[in-house]
Chain A
Amino acid sequence: MVDYFYLITVLPLVGFLINGLFGAKIKNEKVSGIIGSLMVLGSFIITVMAYLHITSLPENSRTITIPLFNWITTGSLNISAAYLVDPLSVTMCLIITGVGFLIHIYSIGYMHGDKGFARFFAFLNLFLFAMLNLVLGDNMLLMFLGWEGVGLCSYLLIGFFYEKKFAGDAANKAFWVNRIGDFGFMIAMFFIFTSFGTLNFLGINTAIATAAVPVSMFTIITLMLFVGATGKSAQIPLYVWLPDAMAGPTPVSALIHAATMVTAGVYMIGRTSLLFAHAPITMEVVMIIGCLTAFMAATIAVAQNDIKKILAYSTVSQLGFMFMAMGAGAFSTGIFHVTTHAFFKALMFLGAGAVIHGMHDEQDVTKMGGLKNKMKITFLTFLMGGIAISGIPPFSGFFSKDEILAKLFFGGHYAVFGIAVLTAFMTAFYVWRLISLTFYGKPRYDESHVHPHESPALMTVPLIILAILSVVGGFIGIPHIIGPNLIEHWLEPVFAPALAILPEHHVVVSTEIGLIVTSVLVAVIAIIISLKMFKSGERLDAFSGGFYNLLRDKYRVDELYNKIIIAPLMWLTEIFYKILDVKIIDGAVNGTAKFFNSLSLDWRKLQTGIIQDYAVFSVAGIVAILLYILLR
C-alpha cells in the first residue's frame, strides 16, 4: 500500500530522462520547464502523502522499509535497493522536494533565454533523483550512490556555463575536493562492513548492540564518515570548493549549494547517529571543526564584495553551526537548523539571483545600492531572510540558532559556545552589510546604463513563499520553556537510541531565558552597528589594513593548498609523466618498433628483385645441406 513511495525518486528521474533525451528536440522553454517542475511537484505531493502516512502510525513504529529489488548479492554481502521512510528521511525529502519545486519554478524565469534551458532542468531533476536516493536509501551503498550522484550533478551544474573557463575550473575543483571526502566515506563503509557485517542502517543499529566492536573502531569509522561530510558539506579543511561553486547559475547555488546537497553531511551524521554516539572523540572533533569552520567562514564573509561569495561563506558558516549541533549530540537541533537554513538561505540566494538579474549580471555589492525602491518584493523578501539568519525572534533562524547555542551551553562546551555567539554576531553583521550595500543608500552604478527592474512573477512568487516559510518555519521547534518542540518530538524515534547513550543535560529555565536574551541582544547590536556603518553607502568595507586584506583573500587558504598539496602533486605528476610515461612506457613501445624497423632496413636489401639472386640463396642452401650431410 505504501509501495508507491518509490515514485518520490522515480518522478525526477523521468523528468531527467525526458529533458535530457528530448530537451534539445523539444526546443520549448515552457514545455521543458513545466515537465521539470511538475515532476518535482509530483514528488513533493507523494512526500507529503508519505508524511501523512507516517504521522498516522504510532510513534514507535514510524519506520517503513520499502524494498525495490535485490541489488548486489555476493558471498556474505547482500544489498537490496530499498528505501527507508522514517521521520528523518521524510523531513529531508520535504525540504528537498518542497524547496526544490520552488527553485524549479524560479528557474523557469531565471534561466529564460538561456540556450541550455532543457539541459539545466535535466540536471536539476537528476540532482533531485540523486539527492532523494541519498536521503531515502536504507543502506550505506545506496546512500553512497546518491552521494556520488549529487556530486556529479553539482559538477555538471557548477560548470553549466562551460564556455567560461572559471566555471569549468570551479566545477573541477568541486569534483576533486569532493573525491577526497568520498574516499573517506568509502573507507568508512568498508570498516562498517567488516565490523558489523552489513551496510543496512537498521542492521547496523541492531548489530551495534551485539557486536563486540572496540571504541577505537567506532572512532575510525565515524572519523572517516566525517571526512566524507567535510567534503560534501564544505567544512574545514575541504570547504574551499563551495565559494568557487558560485560560478554556477544562482538557482543552483540556492538548491544545491545552500539548501540541500551541502546538508548531506549533516543528514549522514544524523542517520548514523548511533555510531557517532559510540565515539565521543569524533563527536568532539565534529563540534570543534564545525565551530572553527563557522567562525572562519563568517570572518571571511565580512570582507567579501561579491554578493554570491558572501552568501557562500555564510552557508559554510551556517553548516558549521549544524555540525556544532551534531557534535554536541543535539541531532534533532542540527536537522532543525538544516530545515530553517534551507528556507532562509534558499530565499537569500534566490533574492541575490533576482538582484543580479535586475542589475544585468553585476555581482559586486559595492557597485549596487539603493535598490530598495526599484525591487520592492526582492528587497522585502531578502529582508525577511536577513532577519531570519540574524536570529531575531520570531523568525525561523532565531529558534534553530538559539537552540544550538543553548545545547552547546548546557552541554558544557563553553568555549565553543563563546565562539558560536561571536559567529552569530558576525553573521548578523555581514548579512546587514550585504543588505545595506545592496538595497540602501544611493546607487553606485552607472544609472544611465543600468536600469534595475523587478523580476517576473515566476521569480517573485517563490521568493514570497520562501519568505513566509523563513518567517514562520521556526515555530516547529520553539524552545521547551515556551511550548512543545514539535520537530524534536517528531525526530525522537530516530535519534532516541543515540541519545540514550549520550549524557543527558539538564536545562535550567532561568539560564535558558538568559541565553535567549543574550543571543537576541547580540543580533540586534550587530545589526545596529552594521546599519550605522553601511546604510549611507559611504563606507563599503568594515575595516582596512593588512588583516582586512587577509580576510578579503580568504586567509589565502587556496594559495596554501596550491603550495603544499597541488604543487607537489604537479611536481610528482611531472616526474611520472616525463620519466615513467615518456621514457619507460613510450620508450618500450617506440623502441620495439624502432628495433624491428632498423633491422628490416638492412635485411630488406636482400630482396633485390632479381630472380637470380634468390636462386643463389636457394643453391647456397642446398650446398649447405649437402655439406652438412657429407661432413657429418
Chain B
Amino acid sequence: MELNFYLILALLLFTIGVIGVLTRRNAIVVFMCIELMLNSVNLVFVSFSSFLGNLNGQIFVFFIMTVAAAEAAVGLAIIIALYRNKSTINLDEINILKW
C-alpha cells in the first residue's frame, strides 16, 4: 500500500503539470510545468524501482535527469529567441502556427 501513495502523488504532480501546460500563458511557467510532469514520471520510476527491488528504474531516472538538463537548456534558449523576435513570451500572442 505504500506504493500507492507515491503513485498518487506522482499522478497529482503530473496532472498539475498538464493543467499548467494547458492553461498558463507565460512560456516560462509552461516550461516549468513540463519539468513538473517529467519529474512526476521520475517519481513513478523510482517508486517502482524500490517496490520491485530492481535498479533499472533508478538508472532510467538518471538518464532522464541528464536529458532534462539538456532539454532545459534548449527550452530556455528557445524562449529567449522567442522573446528577442516577438518581444513577448505570452503564448496567446504567439499564434502564427495556424491557417
Contacts and interface: CB of A to CB of B under 8 A. Distances in A.
B2 interface: no
Contacts of B23: 612
B62 to A, nearest CB: 27
A612 B33 CA distance: 13
A611 B91 contact: yes
A47 B24 CA distance: 99
Contacts of B84: none
Contact of B21 (A607, A609, A610, A615): A615
Interface string B25-62: 00000100000000000000000000000000000000
Contact of A609 (B18, B22, B30, B95): B95
Interface string B1-35: 00000000000000000100111000000100000
A609 B91 contact: no
Interface in A594-632: 604, 607-612, 614-616, 619
Nearest to B23: A612
Contact of A608 (B18, B21, B95): B95
B99 A607 contact: yes
A395 B95 CA distance: 99
Contacts of B91: 610-612
Max chain B Cβ within 10 angstroms of own Cβ: one of A604, A612, A615: A612
A630 to B, nearest CB: 14
Contacts of A614: 97
Contact of B22 (A604, A608, A619): A619
A611 B98 CA distance: 10
Contacts of B94: 610-611
A602 to B, nearest CB: 12
A512 to B, nearest CB: 96
Interface string B55-96: 000000000000000000000000000000000000110111
Contact of B97 (A604, A611, A616, A619): A611
B88 to A, nearest CB: 13
Contacts of B30: 612
B22 A612 contact: yes
Contacts of B18: 619
A611 B30 CA distance: 11
A610 B21 CA distance: 12
A615 B22 CA distance: 7
A619 B21 CA distance: 11
Contacts of A604: 99
Contacts of A609: 95-98
Nearest to B97: A609
B99 A616 contact: no
A614 B97 CA distance: 10
A612 B23 CA distance: 7
Nearest to B95: A609
A612 B21 contact: yes
A435 B39 CA distance: 116
A249 B18 CA distance: 89
B92 A610 contact: yes
A467 B95 CA distance: 93
A604 B99 CA distance: 7
Contact of B98 (A608, A612, A615): A608
Nearest to B19: A619
Chain A CB count within 10 A is highest, among B22, B30, B94, for: B22
B35 to A, nearest CB: 16
A609 B86 CA distance: 15
Interface string A242-264: 00000000000000000000000
A611 B99 CA distance: 13
Nearest to B18: A619
Contacts of B95: 608-610
A70 to B, nearest CB: 63
A615 B21 CA distance: 8
Contacts of B92: 610
A616 B24 CA distance: 12
Contact of A616 (B22, B96, B98): B22
B83 to A, nearest CB: 16
A614 B30 CA distance: 14
A616 B91 CA distance: 14
B37 to A, nearest CB: 11
Contacts of B97: 609, 611, 614
A604 B95 CA distance: 14
A607 B97 CA distance: 8
Contacts of A607: 98-99
Q: Which of B23, B91, B92, B98 has the most CB of A within 10 A?
A: B98
A609 to B, nearest CB: 3
Contacts of A619: 18, 22
Q: Which of A609, A614, A616, A619 is the most central at the interface, judged by chain B CB atoms within 10 Å of its CB?
A: A609
Interface in A480-517: none
Contacts of B98: 607-609
A609 B96 CA distance: 5
B68 to A, nearest CB: 19
A608 B97 CA distance: 8
Contacts of A610: 91-92, 94-95
A547 B63 CA distance: 113
A623 to B, nearest CB: 10
Contacts of B22: 612, 615-616, 619
A3 B22 CA distance: 92
Contacts of A611: 91, 94, 97
Q: Which of A607, A611, A619 has the most CB of B within 10 A?
A: A611
A610 to B, nearest CB: 5
Interface in A302-328: none
8 contacts: A607-B99, A609-B96, A610-B95, A611-B97, A612-B22, A612-B23, A612-B91, A619-B22
Given A610-B92, A612-B30, A616-B22, 14 more contacts: A607-B98, A608-B98, A609-B96, A609-B98, A610-B91, A610-B94, A610-B95, A611-B91, A611-B94, A612-B23, A612-B91, A614-B97, A615-B22, A619-B22
